[in-house]
Structure 1
């Protein structure tokens, strides 16, 4: 028997992690077949697929503050608690942590897609063929809409209602596998009986779809997945015309968009009566995972493919601005010690330790400052560090952290004062000179900044960050030869990951008749700025390959050479 807690095996294109990192996102994916909710996160040069077990996990709705998960008999409602994320190991890595707040028992209603509409959670109740909410706590669910061709509520799954699209903060479009009103009547014509319907008008937008799922409104266009064909398509709401944008190697179900890209769930499709006769079953290659499509070109630009344990995906959702989330539903220690109170009550919460001596209280304030800093509450962190130093003036690490926050807030004078106080105690600490160099540079004192960076390097010749900071300063001052040499130290800092290529780096030698690979390494602005050198480099080699983020491909294709 397979261990449900065993790590997931997956493979991905080399650029999939770059897509997540460049867009500043993570993904949350549900799989009812494996009973898991999976976070897809960039972790170094690899994709981390971190999961939690939820029986028959299907519908998902999530944003920066909250998440809802539909499972076998209930809907779980969770909240993001950044303060808990700050406590997770390794420190500073997690930027969100979703904790359970409510579990609402709905009964076995085959919960499909879900969406937040204002403060309400709407979801597709597939067995009862309707859209529902949960506002009445005395009921299992509250029906809010059902297709006009469905004559009554019962548990027979009359049309296999499955997808929900929200437009202008209101439920607008749904998909179903048939316009039928008999128990599982949709199965008879599943290959081409699917519908897309307008909730507001009760009219069909289009019919004749092959097992449609995941209707979405994005970029002023209506999108749908024709799962039976393995395709992504647009639909004209006025005419019902369907235009296929991309075909994918699997049963398409689960869709979200971000910055011109579609993130699409693929399932392998089991050989059962439900799927017999679908066009997708004629494909020899049927995968399970998340595929990325560039909307402008319709091209597949990357994928994450699951192996073995996961064969079916239901929902895929982008978490914008969240790079490394966590969900805790079985950690009794953290769940038992994490409290979220209303703002009015927080004013009366005792912030200090109980029966601590002065040193212990200083430690408490220091840890509280770290927690606030890691959750982005800089002013609160300052208050805790200041209280720590009031109790223990020689608490050097608290003073250092306080100086770092002042520096990040560009409070140059206060930052300089903290680091110079530390320097009086630790005159040979290169990190202090590096910080003073950053402060001097921020104030426009170039000569002082250069001296501070050079002093840091003299104390620690392998101090890569100081070398890099000096390099950027020298480039700004027009001292290009030494500046570029110092900037090469960036590859030894945590901020930069070397491009993974087995071939030697070009050092300017003769490369006539050879192939040169050029890759972007920083932001889009830098890439565009330096792209003017691409034609010059192309003149020196036989063939030039340019590697860049997908969003820059249309622009860079116009470069001569």
Structure 2
């Protein structure tokens, strides 16, 4: 199997900026099949860690954990370090601790509810879903214009905005009810839907992605036009904050910056002929694949990390607050096989783990179990 070569070139000051925020970044690329983190080492230089996950897409954060989706699975990575603990210069080590077999349903945005349950956008089934025992997933919500449960990507429900630990808004590339019909409306058919009411609060968007509620405002990317901005939920009007040198997807915030992934436009049946390509051509801009930090006050791109040469797209990005130099443990590596960390009993009596205490030998065992 051939693995892609991933090189990174950061603009001056990026590592210092990241260190000043007391944070690090994680992002995914499904064509490269990679989950990657960017941090700042003890010597102040930019660091990177990665693991290989086929068709790696959506990212979600929880308390001390990271969720991500691969070709047919939902993965949970847990930070196994205690606060203040380090390992080989890393202040967080994310170990794969759980995988849920969902099938090939193209999980996009992922978030955690207030009780720690992952909820995720499933474009192939036009729904929001959560994990389920003995099933691929539980369908929890569908747009009112979707008339049946079918393994057909009818509207490309891709984005999820949370509020107070509850799904609040979703984005779809079009309000269509036939398999693949959204592709005919990708330039201006995008909608934002209120989950509680089922009402459409904005329409006419160009491939909306990564809706987020932040600092009392609603933000999203219009991937089809290459724009990032805020949406007035009363009028449905979109205000452009920045125009990106590529197709924006993934959105997180740190300080006064929005962190976005930028991809080169894809020339295939689903993503060709976008207004973005016309704009870049008119302006003589060569599209890039990068992580960008957009200043919310000025709309300028203050920092960039270009990524290549075999990586052309980024799907999602998140900010790991309070973590400066994370490490990922690849689930297929020898490190994952031997990174063994059992849960320890909290008291001396707990070490029996359910065995009776009137044991006939000093090993704490007997022939019967409680």
Query: What are the Cα deviations for residues 317-345 of structure 1, in whole angstroms up to 9, with x where unaligned?
Result: 00000011112123435643522416636
Residue 159 of structure 1: aligned partner = 155
**Structure 1 residue corresponding to 2:174, chosen from 171, 175, 178:** 178
Q: Relative to structure 1, is the Cα distance of residues 81 and 229 closer, same or farther in structure 2, using a 3 angstrom cutoff? A: same
**Structure 1 residue corresponding to 2:120, chosen from 118, 123, 127:** 123
Between Structure 1 and Structure 2, which shows a larger proportion of strand residues?
Answer: 2
> Who wins on radius of gyration, i.e. which is larger?
1
Taking the TM superposition and a 5 Å limit, the aligned residue runs for 1:386-405 are none
Please say which of residues 115-124 and 336-345 is displaced more in the overlay.
336-345
The alignment status of 1:3 with 2:11, answered yes or no, reads no
| CA RMSD across the alignment | 2.1
Alpha-carbon separation, structure 1, partners of 2:2 and 2:234 = 49
Unaligned runs of 5+ in 2: 353-370
3-state DSSP of counterpart to 1:111:
coil
> TM-score, normalization: structure 2?
0.88
**Structure 1 residue corresponding to 2:18, chosen from 17, 20, 27:** 20
Alpha-carbon separation, structure 2, partners of 1:171 and 1:338 = 35
**Structure 2 residue corresponding to 1:267, chosen from 242, 247, 263:** 263
Shift of 1:246: 0.8
3-state DSSP of counterpart to 1:188:
helix
The question of whether the paired residues in 2 share the 8 Å contact of 1:85 and 1:97 is answered with no
Unaligned runs of 5+ in 1: 351-561
Shift of 1:233: 1.2
3-state DSSP of counterpart to 2:15:
helix
Shift of 1:273: 2.0
**Structure 1 residue corresponding to 2:30, chosen from 29, 32, 35:** 32
Query: What are the Cα deviations for residues 154-213 of structure 1, in whole angstroms up to 9, with x where unaligned?
Result: 111000000000012110011111000000000011111111111111111110000110
Query: What are the Cα deviations for residues 538-557 of structure 1, in whole angstroms up to 9, with x where unaligned?
Result: xxxxxxxxxxxxxxxxxxxx
Query: What are the Cα deviations for residues 468-515 of structure 1, in whole angstroms up to 9, with x where unaligned?
Result: xxxxxxxxxxxxxxxxxxxxxxxxxxxxxxxxxxxxxxxxxxxxxxxx
Q: Relative to structure 1, is the Cα distance of residues 229 and 19 closer, same or farther in structure 2, using a 3 angstrom cutoff? A: same
Residue 324 of structure 2: aligned partner = 323
Residue 200 of structure 1: aligned partner = 196
More RCO (CA 8 Å, sep 6+)? 2
Alpha-carbon separation, structure 1, partners of 2:349 and 2:59 = 35
Query: What are the Cα deviations for residues 2-31 of structure 1, in whole angstroms up to 9, with x where unaligned?
Result: 434x5x211111121111010011000011
Shift of 1:85: 10
Residue 339 of structure 1: aligned partner = 341
3-state DSSP of counterpart to 1:274:
coil
Residue 465 of structure 1: aligned partner = none
The question of whether the paired residues in 1 share the 8 Å contact of 2:90 and 2:326 is answered with yes
Alpha-carbon separation, structure 2, partners of 1:185 and 1:78 = 35
Taking the TM superposition and a 5 Å limit, the aligned residue runs for 1:536-547 are none
3-state DSSP of counterpart to 1:143:
strand
Q: Relative to structure 1, is the Cα distance of residues 62 and 158 closer, same or farther in structure 2, using a 3 angstrom cutoff? A: same
> TM-score, normalization: structure 1?
0.59
